[in-house]
Chains A and B, each alone.
Chain A
Amino acid sequence: MRTATVSVPRASMIDDDVVLTVTGLNVDLRTPKGVLRAVNDVSFEALSGRTLALLGESGCGKSMTAKAVAGLLDPVADVTGGTVVLGGTDLAALTPKGRLAYAGPELGIVFQDALTALNPVYTVGTQLGEAFRIHEGLSAKAAKVKAIELMRRVGIPEPESRVDSFPHQFSGGMRQRILIAMAVALNPRLLIADEPTTALDVTVQAQIMKLLRDLRTESHMAVVLITHDLALVAEEADTVAVMYAGNVVETGPVKEVFGTPHHPYTRGLLDSVPADVGRGEDLTSIAGSPPELHRIPDGCVYQSRCPLVQDICRAIRPTLEPDGAGRAVACHFSEELDNV
């Protein structure tokens, strides 16, 4: 039986407490082309009762950041720098065994593809109850009772009869609810949701996001939402950290960042959203594509697609500069962007 031993009491009952602080996180990847930096000097904060979105295209390192925080990196990836502080403890400095006490009671993670994330040979009830058996030492029977409770909490109909079903017997939306249920089973302080709705129909998406919202309000969890969907961020997130090629390029409250972006990439993203485009007109996009991991240039990572690029951008990589008003941006010429 294992309970989390942390110096700070669990699950704050108020909002806007700092729950997670990531500072200068680096993740290196061992590939046939050598050791590459997949996540570079990433820093952000997650507050209780609020949702932070990690926004970026595929391959920008947002998923890897989330896995690094959760301690679930693949063996070919290593955390090579930075701290991940949850409730006063640096998770990155712990051994895998030391982390086990936190996985579940402090930190929950919802994976993207519910079908492969669930073990096909065990019933849903067994898998839901497992967290209780590990951390609270409950018997199989007691765990099953808790599992039924959980299923009810996330809105799965007739939980008593469905608790003995197997994952492949549920629909996609139901499976995602099960995943969410597993993640929040022990009321963690931090919930990481890795593209929770990407594999779902649009109508189901809305339901799932509402479920996440309700759960967050109930328990004042901090939610970190990984996504590439701008609309989702606009609707669901309080703060956003925009990532590009393994770096965070801009952070801040969603309304402000989306209203007046400070970074050319953010601007480009927002402008790419189709709006007020007449029939037959071209859609806007950002020219080029993100650099491959082994071709990330020195200097600013966005240099090859930036309209404001100068020599200094090619030489010196801008770091995330807070502006004192809750926003930060990594760009040498963010002021110019406002003027354009």
Chain B
Amino acid sequence: MSRPPRNAVQLPSGGRTVAPPGTEAIALPRGESVADKKISLFHLLLKDRFASVAALVLVFVGLTAVFGPTLMGDLSTRQDLGATNRPPFSFSDGWAFVLGSDSLGRSMLARLVVATQTTLSVALPAVAISLVIGSLWGLWAGYHRGWRETVSMRIADVIMSFPSLLLAVVILYVFSPSAANIVLILAVTRIPIYLRTARAESAELQSRTFVDAARTFGTKPNAIIRRHVIPVVLPTLLTLATIEFCYVMLAESSLSFLGIGIQPPDVSWGLMVAQGRQYLQTAWWLSFFPGLAIMVTTVAANVLAAWLRIATDPAQRWRLTLPRKRLLVRLPVEEVL
């Protein structure tokens, strides 16, 4: 009796085996993976209207920051004492004054544009610095554990247990409020956030089996961190950075408002709000528009961050691709017997 083919269904009738007819012909189409088809992050973004709008807003703000000041020329500094405190929404003085003018007759629109550049040129570097330093530090601490981890966490505790705004005010008062100092102090106070998150993720990952496997192959710690840990942690960190951008922007605005941030003749959104404070009753737009700019940018960044959190987590991504719940009509069923 010949040996039955390996995958034949064996029917209990004297050893006769039958290969399912046509199994050779039925082969699953090659190339189609069982997992979800890879949808690029970009397409996923387009599917969510809110997130797309938010991204668009941020791109617009970014472009304004880069190209706006050159376009505006010297409009932001040109004083026109005959046209002070003009109200917005009228073209009678030309398009430059569509958002009104301030107490020195300068165009609000132009000042807003230039302020965009200043604000972003403080916020973005601060976020970048704290992200890089905090994350690398946290990854290293979380991977090695032991005293490195404890010391790092204690340092983070110290920095975080104190209201950062107050710390910033004191330090800027001592060391004079230049843009570079602001960037530095904001970066330093936000490092603990990345430090903690990166450490927590790194510590949790390093106890996982795949890291042990890499270790038994003799992979050096830095390589392990680079190849195994960072790819997993990166999405969380980037999402965090987007949220941190909001905070840093708000912090800079608050500092400038208190008078300890960007100093005149430079202009930032926070500073503009402060400068418009005394004219609240007569010229509300002086404080209103800069604050609105802050708010819109922050909202956009928050929306994008919320979307990022889901989109970069493979376990959650499916939520963005579900078909909508339709109102299903129950079909009438025959009587129960």
Q: Which of B11, B12, B13, B318 has the most CB of A within 10 A?
A: B11
A32 at the interface (CB under 8 A from B): yes
Q: Which residue of A lies closest to B331 (CB)?
A: A81
Residue B82 at the A interface, CB < 8 A?
no
- Asked whether B13 lies within 8 Å of A83 as measured between CB atoms, the reply is no
A307 touches B325 (CB 8 A): no
CB of B44 to closest CB in A, whole Å: 11
* Contact assessment for A307 and B20 in the assembled complex, using a CB-CB cutoff below 8 Å: yes
Q: Once the chains bind, are A340 and B333 in contact (CB under 8 Å)?
A: no
A34 close to B13 (CB less than 8 A): no
Interface flags, B7-44, vs A, CB<8A=1, else 0: 11111110000101111001000000010100000000
With a CB–CB cut-off of 8 A, which chain B residues contact A30?
Answer: 322-323, 325
Instruction: Report the bound CA distance from A282 to B13 in whole Å.
Output: 17
A305 with B333: CB separation less than 8 A: no
A85 part of interface (Cβ distance < 8 Å): yes
Chain A residues closer than 8 Å to B21, beta-carbon distance: 307, 309
Contact flag A31-B322 (CB < 8 Å), given A285-B7, A307-B21: yes
Q: Do the beta carbons of A21 and B336 come within 8 Å of each other?
A: yes
Q: Which B residues touch A286, using CB under 8 A?
A: 9
- The reply to whether the CB of B330 lies closer than 8 angstroms to some CB of chain A is yes
Contact with B along A240-275 (1 / 0, CB 8 A): 000000000000000000000000100110010000
Asked whether B331 lies within 8 Å of A307 as measured between CB atoms, the reply is: no
A24 at interface by CB-CB < 8 Å = yes
Give the docked Cα–Cα distance between A24 and B12 (Å). 34
Once A83-B333, A271-B11 are accepted as A-B contacts, the answer to whether A287 and B20 lie under 8 Å apart by CB is yes
Interface membership of B6, Cβ < 8 A: yes
B10–A284 touching, CB < 8 Å: yes
* Interface residue range, chain A: 20 to 34
Asked if B223 is an interface residue, CB under 8 A from chain A, the answer is: no
Q: What is the 8 Å Cβ interface bit string for chain A, positions 192-216, against chain B (1 contact, 0 not)?
A: 0000000000000000000000000
A76 beta carbon closer than 8 Å to chain B: yes
Closest to B8 in A: A287
B158 interfacial contact with A, CB 8 Å: no
Once the chains bind, are A32 and B336 in contact (CB under 8 Å)?
no
Cβ-defined contact, A292 with B34, below 8 A: yes
B174 interface residue (CB < 8 Å to A): no
Q: Which chain A positions have C-beta within 8 A of B13? A: 340
Contacts across chains A and B counted by CB atoms under 8 Å: 68
> What band does the interface of chain B fall in when counting residues whose beta carbon is under 8 Å from A?
20 to 34
A324 adjacent to chain B (CB < 8 Å): no
Complex partner residue of A287 from B7, B330, B333, CB under 8 angstroms: B7
Please indicate the chain B residues that have their CB under 8 angstroms from the CB of A83 in the complex: 333, 336
B9 A287 Cβ-Cβ under 8 A: yes
Check A14 for interface membership: any CB of B closer than 8 A: no
Contact with A along B202-237 (1 / 0, CB 8 A): 000000000000000000000000000000000000
Is B321 interfacial (CB-CB < 8 Å)?
Answer: yes
Assuming the contacts A76-B322, A307-B20, asked whether A271 and B10 have C-beta atoms less than 8 A apart, the reply is yes
Hey, what's the 0/1 contact readout for B65-102 against A, CB within 8 Å counting as 1? Answer: 00000000000000000000000000000000000000
Cβ contact of A268, chosen from B9, B26, B318, cutoff 8 A: B9
B315 CB within 8 Å of chain A: no
Considering the complex, give the chain A residue whose CB is closest to the CB of B9.
A307
CA distance A292 to B4 in the complex (A): 28
Instruction: Decide yes or no whether B328 CB sits under 8 A from chain A.
Output: yes
For the complex formed, measure the closest distance between the CB of B207 and the CB atoms of chain A, giving whole angstroms: 20
- Kindly report which residue of chain A lies nearest to residue B322, judged by CB atoms: A30
Do B333 and A23 touch across chains, with their CB atoms under 8 A apart? yes
The 7 A-B pairs of least Cβ separation, nearest first, read: A32-B321, A287-B7, A284-B10, A307-B20, A307-B18, A340-B11, A307-B9
Q: List 13 A-B contacts (CB under 8 A).
A: A23-B336, A30-B325, A31-B322, A32-B322, A80-B328, A264-B9, A271-B9, A282-B6, A284-B9, A284-B10, A287-B7, A287-B23, A288-B23
